[in-house]
Amino acid sequence: MQLIILKDNLKKALSRAERAVTENNNLPILKNILLSADSNLKISATNLEIGLVTTAAAKINQKGKITIPFAPFFNIVTNSNSERISLESHEDSLVVKTDNYEAKLQGVSSEEFPIIPSIEEEKIGYIEISSQLFSDALSQVSLSAQISELKPELSGVLLDFQIGQIKLVATDSYRLSEKTIQDQNFKTTLKEAFKVIIPLNTVTEFSRVFSESEEVKVFIEEGQVLFKSNDNYLISRLIDGDYPDYQVIIPEKTETELALERVEFLNALKLVNSFSGRTNDIQLELSENEKALQLYSSNQSIGENKYLVPVKKSGSNLEKTSFNARYLIDGLKSFKAENVTLSLNSSQKPALLKPSGDNSIFYIVMPLES
């Protein structure tokens, strides 16, 4: 293998591969990446849960493959001050050269590198969607997921494909996010609905790997999900299990609706939450004239504070209700609208938070016990 590559191209590709590299005393080869020179340079990495192949443009003088330790190679590339880097393999070693630097990395035969699973793409259907749109949607809901060994199905995002729309859902039992993508925003060759749970780590990696706006195809087959664009290939196991029937907690109607300016409500929560301590316990209550929402928190070792946020109320009176302020903050951060609606029924029932003018997303948060 012999090639010349721009440092920036190589560094960008290595940064994508970094999270798929893992320390494993039983399988030290997982600390390595596989370099494959053909028409371009392909970099492969796997931790056996996810597999990643990313492509970087390069001038290929001689084709070949070699696997080398990721960490020292990434350190060399990151700290190089040269615009171009030359890579040349000699049996099981890789020589890295720049204008003023040379290193020889001991590698391993490419045959030792684990096989990254593949999917028979031509035999199954797919969803094609903008990486930016899908990444934004995933980030809007993934905040509600939580890694759980007792309930592994909560450690991911539900992808609920229906003819005409895609629903993305995440919950940790205390809050829930749902985002709907309508069919005008994606293409598909699929004819049947399905539901799968994508691991949270894979969701995070999607946003890292497909960081630039490009079209991505999504394939589902036998417990695996594949995301593929022209330059990147990310495959992952799916979480086995049934997702909770979350529909039962979505309020069909609400007694009280409060319209608030999102950023002011968000800043008020951050400020008042500084007195709430570890519990993040914050009380919401309407002012006497019902034109402001009072946020209150107290802490024996600090003191107490309150904040009045202008509000437009419709419906019945609001009971004093306590929430985890951090959960409300997370929900507001996931929205982009200027205004939001907070809908409530009673101090014991879940609250519904939605951005004004956007019916594609909502956020549910459970109140704290009084």
- Helix (H) or strand (E) segment spanning residue 269: helix 262-273
pLDDT tens column, 250-269:
988 889 999 999 999 999 99
- The domain boundary, picked from 212, 246, 280, lies at 246
Both 210 and 261 in one domain: the answer is: no
Burial of 277 (0-12, 13-18, 19+ CB in 10 A): middle
99 in a domain, yes or no?
A: yes
Both 164 and 265 in one domain: the answer is: no
Nearest to 335 by CA among 111, 124, 122, 143: 143
- The domain boundary, picked from 246, 266, 287, lies at 246
Burial of 240 (0-12, 13-18, 19+ CB in 10 A): exposed
What pLDDT, on a 0 to 100 scale, did the predictor assign at position 39? 93
Both 199 and 87 in one domain: the answer is: no
What pLDDT, on a 0 to 100 scale, did the predictor assign at position 346? 82
Q: For residue 370, what pLDDT band results from cuts at 50, 70 and 90? A: low
The pairing of beta strand 2-6 with beta strand 102-106: unpaired
- Where do we find the tokens 């497909």? 210
What pLDDT, on a 0 to 100 scale, did the predictor assign at position 252? 85
280: left (phi over 0), alpha (psi -120 to 50) or beta: left
Both 101 and 125 in one domain: the answer is: no
What CA–CA distance (Å, rounded) separates 268 from 97? 55
Mean pLDDT of 92-115: 94
272 in a domain, yes or no?
A: yes
Both 255 and 241 in one domain: the answer is: no
Check whether 95 has a pLDDT greater than 80: yes
Average pLDDT of the residues of the chain: 93
Both structure tokens of 65: 């493959």
Both 211 and 282 in one domain: the answer is: no
Check whether 197 has a pLDDT greater than 80: yes
What pLDDT, on a 0 to 100 scale, did the predictor assign at position 348? 86
Which CATH number fits the domain that encloses residue 143?
3.10.150.10
What CA–CA distance (Å, rounded) separates 41 from 57? 6
63 in a domain, yes or no?
A: yes
370 in a domain, yes or no?
A: no
pLDDT tens column, 314-350:
988 888 899 999 999 999 999 999 999 999 988 889 9
Both 239 and 127 in one domain: the answer is: yes
Check whether 288 has a pLDDT greater than 90: no
Both structure tokens of 233: 């290939």
Nearest to 234 by CA among 73, 49, 64, 66: 49
Both 173 and 234 in one domain: the answer is: yes
76 in a domain, yes or no?
A: yes
Both 162 and 226 in one domain: the answer is: yes
Q: What angle do CA 10, 13, 16 make, to 5 degrees?
A: 150
Compute φ and ψ for 16, nearest 5 degrees. Answer: -65, -40
Are the C-beta atoms of 70 and 17 separated by less than 8 Å? yes
Nearest to 94 by CA among 107, 84, 79: 107
Both 233 and 160 in one domain: the answer is: yes
Three-state SS sequence of 252-296: CCCCEEEEEEHHHHHHHHHHHHCCCHHHCEEEEEECCCCCEEEEE
What pLDDT, on a 0 to 100 scale, did the predictor assign at position 3? 97
- Where do we find the tokens 């800043």? 267
Higher pLDDT, 365 or 150: 365
Q: For residue 171, what pLDDT band results from cuts at 50, 70 and 90? A: very high
What pLDDT, on a 0 to 100 scale, did the predictor assign at position 276? 87
Both 214 and 164 in one domain: the answer is: yes
Both 41 and 69 in one domain: the answer is: yes
pLDDT tens column, 62-72:
999 999 999 99
**Residue ranges making up the domain that contains 31:** 2-112
333 in a domain, yes or no?
A: yes
pLDDT tens column, 200-258:
999 999 999 997 789 999 999 989 999 999 999 999 999 999 999 999 989 888 899 99
pLDDT tens column, 122-151:
889 999 999 999 999 999 999 999 998 889
- The domain boundary, picked from 246, 271, 292, lies at 246
What pLDDT, on a 0 to 100 scale, did the predictor assign at position 318? 83
How many CB atoms are closer than 10 A to CB 246?
A: 15
Domain count within the chain: 3
Amino acid type, 116:
I
